[in-house]
Structure 1
């Protein structure tokens, strides 16, 4: 009888891939974690308890078959593990790198609840698919037959790319329109290389392009092409352009030079990483080198900004957040990485004004936590007379993102939006009240996780295919 490969969590402790030393990694934009070796990946996968109700799977937005591909990894059947992983996730190697596993799959691992330390699901997921690419197991997308239907996708981010993958595999003609010069959306320009190296994204874009997906880049819908023109050229349209409008700061001095948007700062840094010339980086506007940097916000975008500033050579980096550590929305793992790299977190701090032109300081009011708000988190309350000034040469606004006014920008007043400005669409199918117009990802949910965008893109693509099939059936009657 074969030896039981699983249930080793009692004998084998949790072990992450080796992490590069903070004083080494904070000088470059390479990923901070090494790959598992095959034996170590199998060992860590073998810790899975194969529980009857896999909470890791149920708490994954894509409902990935996590226990199954962990078992295949433990048994050394890596190709089968990859095939199981790819079956439910368009980009498993990307999710393995950037998903907040501590809040999703790993955070709900049964053996974690019993005190044995969660299975390192994300690291194994990354290892499986990186190995698949190295071994040539990732096959080209070749539809069994081409179809006549055409879909236009607005946005080349994770939702749009995931939808394109599903549609092109079914033989549908796909064209993606995007405002940037490279596809990938926030995967390419919003997330720094130390979390997601860009060749990982580009090889997926290349795979889609090789499969026949057409990319129309540097294309602003409403300016370079109208929304109505896109609708006229395709049998269906999927809106997947994300949310890019930055929530703004208020208060005296908030318009000073040196106060910049997180998205502009991160895009500039990532473009430089590609080897592009970026004037605002070269002239120091979007470059932290030699500066005292203050980042305002407590989400994952704020973590990306503070860690980028460290790597650019800032003299100091402080992150202001109006709640405490336990109540911040960002990944606790990212906070720990940032602290290791030299970031100073100033909890229970709220900016109320800015001094200097260009900016030279942030006037901060200390806060305390009061009663819980609608989300269940304690609401921050100001402490009177607690104001003080943090010195700053560069202030980065990382307060979250909101949708642009699409009906106005696209001259499409009939496009249904919610009171928050997101596109109003069926959460299961992405269908809107406009005929043959669908929406997926952050433009429907609001700013959310990449894994949710992938799920929404896949679901909307499946709905579009089902509607094409229904239309064919009606036409055949």
Structure 2
């Protein structure tokens, strides 16, 4: 695929980013698309692999390897190289309902397992994917696909994140009447309110929601299942129900002083900030302003990085990020060999911005927070930490030990806890009556059926906190099972049959 000698002729090029000094003054996406010439060169680098590991979609040692939605990557890389963009779009849409989302916010496990990445930088798969779908919208190729027939069957989808949207899209195209219930004032789930605008502009999300609506999907907003509409009502009004509520119960840090004013969950901060950007009316105490404050983010992942970038745009006085683990290596280790996802040191957009603003990388590694300290008014004024050592115990497992003498006091008026999610929020699950296991809905992958008749579950609610590509995978697969349940057979494709 691509040019036969392209991987030798051309080097990988990264997407052009706007100047970090200036982009913190707005909420627009921080990077810019490739030119057509660059895209063709990057597509040309795709090798004629015997086995395209970029497509394998497996989990190795607990991490995703390759593309879980099995994108036909070599095919559309070749078409991009040849400038056949509309054909590339057709190939892309065969497996991916929402390339405009994955092309912006997916961590691209496909690139980690690219065969070229054994010895050289991988093919710029994610950037090419984004370019293909953006050209599709820009050139008017993305038009409403109106189903030719309706089956008379009705399906309720609870939650409008990527799993819910993917299942709704597939079932609507199969001819069913689909209603998506969303408790927020806008559809999109974490795509709308969990990912800040500079990574995924909300016009991009709303554009897709409009298209789905034009195709026949009905969105009912400001409606929480189990509260505004009961499980009995859902059961009476629909022939099947799909739980795609996500894993939005945030993991807490239970230590002394947790109740101090100024300690918040990361997602509460990001949600309120995005609502403010979108000019949504907020309660007086809902918006969390980092202006002029010393900010500490606890958690070393993407959500923590998004908090950094958001605090910078709020003009914080300083920002620091704590990570539990040591700094990642610059090259793969024997415990992390290709084609596994590469656990390597990287500099994300937020870290570049903080470095430009304050002169140093905001990340601190192997840090454990011990306690929060408040002033006489209950407002956070500082937190105490200790450094940790990560070692392998006698059973070969990693454990952490505190290092005496490394205690430190950090000034802080705002802290954001970004240490992951425990699973779905339990209220709607209890209302519907589905069984859970390990804080997730009990439903076997490939079947997606729960213990409740005609109730299915998919996405993070079923598998736990995961990637957007797994959410799309599960949304498509559960749609196939629901279609078969309703009709006795199915017209929808399955990743499991690839």
Q: TM-score normalized by structure 2?
A: 0.88
- Which of the residues 248, 255, 258 maps onto 2:252? 248
Distance 1:318 1:380 in 2: 22
Distance 1:135 1:368 in 2: 54
Distance 1:264 1:381 in 2: 31
1:278 shift after superposition: 2.4
Q: Determine the structure 1 residue equivalent to 2:90.
A: 83
Q: Determine the structure 2 residue equivalent to 1:361.
A: 382
- Which of the residues 369, 380, 392 maps onto 1:371? 392
1:339 shift after superposition: 2.3
Give matches, 1:224-239, under 5 Å.
224-239=228-243
Matched, 1:112 2:117: yes
Q: Determine the structure 1 residue equivalent to 2:7.
A: 9
Distance 1:350 1:171, change over 3 A: same
Q: TM-score normalized by structure 1?
A: 0.92
Distance 1:332 1:63 in 2: 24
Distance 2:342 2:161 in 1: 21
Matched, 1:346 2:344: no
User: Once the two structures are superposed, what CA deviation does each residue of 1:284-340 show, in whole Å capped at 9, x if it has no partner?
Assistant: 95111111000101121111111111111111110011111228x998687432221
Distance 2:397 2:296 in 1: 24
User: Once the two structures are superposed, what CA deviation does each residue of 1:139-187 show, in whole Å capped at 9, x if it has no partner?
Assistant: 2121121110110000011100010100111110001111100000000
Distance 1:53 1:330, change over 3 A: closer
Q: Determine the structure 1 residue equivalent to 2:348.
A: 336
- Which of the residues 200, 209, 212 maps onto 2:213? 209
User: Once the two structures are superposed, what CA deviation does each residue of 1:84-122 show, in whole Å capped at 9, x if it has no partner?
Assistant: 001100001210111102xx111111111122x111000
Contact 2:263 2:417 in 1 (8 A): yes
Instruction: Give 3-state SS (helix, strand or coil) of 2:383's partner.
Output: strand
Q: Determine the structure 2 residue equivalent to 1:264.
A: 268
Distance 1:373 1:288 in 2: 45
Give matches, 1:183-222, under 5 Å.
183-222=187-226
Distance 1:326 1:378, change over 3 A: farther
- Which of the residues 460, 466, 474 maps onto 1:442? 460
Distance 2:345 2:145 in 1: 35
Matched, 1:39 2:37: yes
Distance 2:450 2:78 in 1: 41
- Which of the residues 119, 123, 139 maps onto 2:127? 123
Instruction: Give 3-state SS (helix, strand or coil) of 1:265's partner.
Output: helix
Q: Determine the structure 2 residue equivalent to 1:475.
A: none
Distance 2:32 2:366 in 1: 35
Distance 2:313 2:73 in 1: 34
Instruction: Give 3-state SS (helix, strand or coil) of 2:264's partner.
Output: strand
Instruction: Give 3-state SS (helix, strand or coil) of 2:441's partner.
Output: coil
Distance 1:109 1:41 in 2: 17
Contact 1:406 1:412 in 2 (8 A): no
Root-mean-square deviation (Å): 2.3
Q: Determine the structure 2 residue equivalent to 1:455.
A: 473
Contact 1:257 1:358 in 2 (8 A): yes
Instruction: Give 3-state SS (helix, strand or coil) of 1:341's partner.
Output: helix
User: Once the two structures are superposed, what CA deviation does each residue of 1:339-370 show, in whole Å capped at 9, x if it has no partner?
Assistant: 21115111111111001120011111111111
1:431 shift after superposition: 1.6
5+ residue gaps, structure 1, are: 473-477
Contact 1:322 1:380 in 2 (8 A): no
Matched, 1:52 2:54: no
Distance 2:82 2:210 in 1: 32
* More divergent stretch after superposition (11-20 vs 183-192): 11-20
Contact 1:354 1:361 in 2 (8 A): yes
Instruction: Give 3-state SS (helix, strand or coil) of 2:195's partner.
Output: coil
User: Once the two structures are superposed, what CA deviation does each residue of 1:13-65 show, in whole Å capped at 9, x if it has no partner?
Assistant: 10022111211222222111111111211111011002110011111010100
- Which of the residues 435, 439, 455 maps onto 1:416? 435
Distance 1:471 1:108 in 2: 35
Q: Determine the structure 2 residue equivalent to 1:133.
A: 137
Instruction: Give 3-state SS (helix, strand or coil) of 2:94's partner.
Output: helix
Q: Determine the structure 2 residue equivalent to 1:153.
A: 157
Distance 2:348 2:428 in 1: 42
Distance 2:365 2:462 in 1: 31
